[in-house]
Amino acid sequence: MYQNPRGTRDFNPEEMQKRKIVEESIRSIFQKYGYKEVQTPIFENLELFTAKSGETIINELYSFVDKGGREIALRPELTAPVIRFYVEKLQMKPKPLKLFYFGNCFRYDRPQKGRYREFKQAGCELIGTVNPEALAELIAMAYKILENSGLTNIHLNIGNLNVLSAIFKKLNLPKDKQSYLIPLIDKSMFEDLLEALSDFGISPKDSSTFLDILQTTDLNKIQEFVKTDKDAQEEILKLKEILAFLDNSFKIKNYTIKMSIVRGLDYYKGLVFEIEAPKLGAEKQLCGGGEYELIPLFGGKETPTSGFAIGFDRTILALETEKYKFPAQQIDAFIIPVSDDMITESLRIAQELRKIDASIDIDLMRRGISKSLKYANSINAKKAIIIGPNELEKSTVTIKNMETGEQTTVKITDLKNNFKS
Amino acid sequence: MYQNPRGTRDFNPEEMQKRKIVEESIRSIFQKYGYKEVQTPIFENLELFTAKSGETIINELYSFVDKGGREIALRPELTAPVIRFYVEKLQMKPKPLKLFYFGNCFRYDRPQKGRYREFKQAGCELIGTVNPEALAELIAMAYKILENSGLTNIHLNIGNLNVLSAIFKKLNLPKDKQSYLIPLIDKSMFEDLLEALSDFGISPKDSSTFLDILQTTDLNKIQEFVKTDKDAQEEILKLKEILAFLDNSFKIKNYTIKMSIVRGLDYYKGLVFEIEAPKLGAEKQLCGGGEYELIPLFGGKETPTSGFAIGFDRTILALETEKYKFPAQQIDAFIIPVSDDMITESLRIAQELRKIDASIDIDLMRRGISKSLKYANSINAKKAIIIGPNELEKSTVTIKNMETGEQTTVKITDLKNNFKS
Distance CA A133, CA B251 (A): 57
Chain centre distance of CA A235: 28
Amino acid at A156: L
Does A330 contact B at CB distance below 8 Å?
A: no
Same-domain check for residues A316 and A335 = no
Q: Are residues A368 and A251 in the same domain?
A: no
- DSSP state at residue B200: T
Q: Do B16 and A36 touch (CB under 8 A)?
A: yes
Q: Is the same domain home to A299 and A375?
A: no
Instruction: Say whether residue A68 is in contact with chain B using an 8 A CB cutoff.
Output: yes
Chain B closest CA to A191's CA: distance in Å? 35
pLDDT score for B421: 60
Could you tell me if A241 and A309 lie in one domain? yes
Is position B300 within any domain?
Answer: yes
Q: Which pLDDT score, from 0 to 100, does residue A140 have?
A: 98
Nearest-CA distance from B364 to chain A in Å? 5
Cα A267 to Cα A78, A83, A270, A297: the distances in Å are 14, 12, 10, 10
B195: closest CA among B187, B184, B179?
Answer: B184
What does the radius of gyration of chain A's CA atoms come to, in whole angstroms? 28
Q: Note down pLDDT in tens along chain B; length 421 residues.
A: 799 999 999 999 999 999 999 999 999 999 999 999 999 999 999 999 998 888 888 889 999 998 888 999 999 999 999 999 999 999 999 999 999 999 999 999 887 777 899 999 999 999 999 999 999 999 999 999 999 999 999 999 999 999 999 999 988 988 888 888 988 998 889 999 999 999 999 999 999 999 999 999 999 999 999 999 999 999 999 999 999 999 999 999 989 999 999 876 567 889 999 999 998 888 899 999 999 999 999 999 999 999 999 999 999 999 999 999 999 999 999 999 999 999 999 999 999 999 999 999 999 999 999 999 999 999 999 999 999 999 999 999 999 999 999 999 999 999 999 887 6
Query: Do A378 and A303 share a structural domain?
Result: no
Q: List C-alpha distances in Å: A293 to A47, A79, A125, A267, A268.
A: 17, 11, 11, 6, 6
Mean pLDDT of all residues in A33-45: 98
| Boundary residue ending a domain (A272, A292, A321) | A321
- Give the contacts of A156 (CB within 8 A, at least 6 positions apart): A139, A143, A252, A254, A255, A256, A273, A274, A275
Interface check A65 vs B, CB under 8 A: yes
- Which residues make Cβ contacts (< 8 Å) with residue A26, sequence separation at least 6? A102, A122, A145, A148, A149, A310, A312
Strands A331-337 and A360-362: parallel
Alpha carbons A238 and A240: distance in angstroms, whole number: 5
Which domain CATH number covers B21?
A: 3.30.930.10
In a domain, A98, yes or no: yes
- Tell me, yes or no, whether B353 and B255 share the same domain: no
d(C-alpha A287, C-alpha A276), whole Å: 7
Does B96 reach chain A within 8 Å, measured CB to CB? Answer: yes
DSSP character for B89? I
Q: How confident is residue A301, by pLDDT bands cut at 50, 70 and 90?
A: very high
Q: Identify the three-state secondary structure at position B185.
A: helix
Domain boundary among A321, A342, A377: A321
- Do B314 and B341 contact (CB within 8 A), yes or no? no
A412: CATH: 3.40.50.800
A123, A127, A132, A124: which is closest to A94 by C-alpha?
A127
For B168-200, how does the pLDDT look when each residue is reduced to its tens digit (9 = 90+)?
998 898 888 888 898 899 888 999 999 999 999
B 382-401 residues with CB < 8 A to A: none
HEC letters along chain A: CCCCCCCCCCECHHHHHHHHHHHHHHHHHHHHCCCEECECCCEEEHHHHHHHHCHHHHHHCCEEECCCCCEEEECCCCHHHHHHHHHHHHCCCCCCEEEEEEEEEECCCCCECCECCEEEEEEEEEECCCCHHHHHHHHHHHHHHHHHCCCCCCEEEEEEHHHHHHHHHCCCCCHHHHHHHHHHHHCCCHHHHHHHHHHCCCCHHHHHHHHHHHHCCCHHHHHHHCCCCHHHHHHHHHHHHHHHHHHHCCCCCCEEECCCCCCCCCCEEEEEEEEECHHHHHHCEEEEEEEECCCHHHCCCCCCEEEEEEEHHHHHHHHHHCCCCCCCCCEEEEEEECCHHHHHHHHHHHHHHHHCCCCEEECCCCCCHHHHHHHHHHCCEEEEEEECHHHHHCCEEEEEECCCCCEEEEEHHHHHHHHCC
Q: Are residues B254 and B130 in the same domain?
A: yes
pLDDT of residue B52: 81
Question: In the predicted model, what is the mean pLDDT of residues A234-263?
Answer: 96
Q: How far is A355 from chain B (nearest CA, A)?
A: 9
User: Which B residues in the span 357-386 are in contact with A, Cβ-Cβ below 8 Å?
Assistant: 357-362, 364-366, 374-375, 378-379
Task: Tell me, yes or no, whether B280 lies in a domain.
Answer: yes
Interface test mutation site (partner A, options B32, B62, B250, max chain A beta carbons within 10 A): B32
Q: Which of B4, B13, B98 is facing A37, going by the closest CB pair?
A: B13
Measure CB to CB from residue A364 to each of B45, B96, B250 and give the nearest one: B96
What distance in Å separates the CA atoms of residue A77 and residue A121, rounded to the nearest whole number? 8
Residues A21 and A107 grouped into a single domain: yes
Measured between CB atoms, does B16 come within 8 Å of chain A? yes
Is some CB atom of chain B closer than 8 A to the CB atom of A1? yes
Residues A236 and A377 in one domain: no
Strands A331-337 and A381-387: parallel
The tally of domains found in chain B comes to 2
Residue B185 lies in a domain: no
- Contact predicate B286/B311, CB 8 Å: yes
Note if the bond before A304 is cis, omega within 30 degrees.
no
What pLDDT is recorded for position B315?
97
Q: Is residue A203 part of a domain?
A: no
Minimal CA separation from A285 to chain B, in Å: 24
Phi, psi of B333 (to 5 degrees): -155, 150
* Helices and strands (H and E) in chain B: how many: 14, 16
Average pLDDT over residues A70-86: 96
With residue B277 as reference, give the H or E element that holds it.
none
* Helix (H) or strand (E) segment spanning residue B420: none
Q: Which pLDDT does position A133 carry in this prediction? A: 98
For A105, which residue in chain B has the nearest alpha carbon?
Answer: B42
Cα separations in angstroms, A244 against A255, A301, B275: 12, 31, 59
H or E, element range at B418: none
Half-sphere exposure of A225 (CA within 13 A, CB side): 25
β-bridge partners, B251: none
Q: How far apart are CA A342 and CA A345, in angstroms?
A: 6
CA angle B129, B54, B302 (to 5 degrees): 25
- In the three-class reduction of DSSP (H, G, I as helix; E, B as strand; rest coil), residue B249 is classed as coil
| Per-residue CA distances from B6 to A70, B73, B108, B339, B396 (Å) | 10, 18, 10, 48, 54
Mutate to test the interface with B, among A19, A106, A110, A133 (most CBs of B within 10 A): A133
Same structural domain for residues A278 and A339?
no
Percent of chain A with pLDDT over 90: 86
Query: How far apart are alpha carbons A394 and B105 in whole angstroms?
Result: 51
* B41 assigned to some structural domain: yes
Residue B336 inside a domain? The answer is yes
Does residue B70 belong to any structural domain of this protein?
A: yes
Q: Please tell me if residue A344 touches chain B, with a CB cutoff of 8 Å.
A: yes
Distance (Å, whole) CA A371 – CA A351: 23
A398: containing domain? 331-419
The interface predicted TM-score of the complex, written ipTM, equals 0.95
For residue B378, the surrounding DSSP H or E stretch is: helix B369-378
Query: Going by DSSP bridges, is the β-strand pair B36-37/B97-106 parallel, antiparallel, or unpaired?
Result: parallel
Q: Which domain-ending residue is among A293, A321, A349?
A: A321
Same domain, yes or no, for B313 and B400?
no
Same domain, B17 and B166: yes
Query: Is A239 near chain B, with CB under 8 Å?
Result: no
pLDDT of residue A265: 53
Contact B5 A40 (CB under 8 A): no
Among the listed residues B108, B164, B102, B96, the one whose alpha carbon sits nearest the alpha carbon of residue B135: B96
